[in-house]
Amino acid sequence: MDFSTSMAVAASGLRAQSERMKTIAENIANANSTSPQPNGEPYRRKIATVKSDFDRELNATLVQSGQPVADTSDFRLQYDPGNPMADKQGYVKLPNVNSLVEIMDMREAQRSYEADLSVMDATKAMLARTVDLLRK
C-alpha cells in the first residue's frame, strides 16, 4: 500500500467516525426530551451505520457513514400523572436512549478516530523520512 492510499483509507475512517460521533451526540442531547404533543412519540434513538466501498482507483476498501437507522426498542416510561404529556394511566413516554450506552459508543468512536489519526501521523512520518533519505 502506498502513502496516498494509506492516507485515503485513514481519512475515510476519520470522516465515518466523525459522523458516528455526531449521531451519538444527537442521541445524548435528546435523552430526556418528551413528545411535543400529548400521546405522541418522543425522540427515537438513532444508530450510526458505516458501509465499505472498494475504490478501484486506489485499489483499497474505504468506509463511509451510511444513513442512521432508528432504534426500534421500547420507549422508557416514567410515572408522572401531573405531566400534560402523560397518558391516561399517568405515564410519560421518554426516549429509548440509555446515556451509559451512548457514552460507551462515543468512547469507542473516539478511540477509532484516534487510531485513524495515528495512521495518518505514521504515514506522514514515513513520507518525511523517505524524502530525507532521497535528499542524501
At residue 11, the pLDDT reads 95
Torsion of CA 76, 80, 83, 87, to 10 degrees: 60
Split at pLDDT 50, 70, 90, the class of 84 is confident
Taking only the tens place, the pLDDT of each residue in 8-18 is: 999 999 999 99
Split at pLDDT 50, 70, 90, the class of 1 is low
- Asked if residue 44 lies in contact with residue 23, where contact means CB atoms within 8 angstroms, the answer is no
Amino acid symbol at 42 = P
Taking the model in full, what pTM does it have?
0.86
Average pLDDT over residues 24-37: 92
* Alpha carbon distance 63, 33 (integer Å): 32
Split at pLDDT 50, 70, 90, the class of 39 is confident
Highest mean predicted confidence (pLDDT) among 4-8, 85-89, 108-112:
108-112
pLDDT surpasses 90 at 43 = yes
Average pLDDT, whole number, for the chain?
A: 93
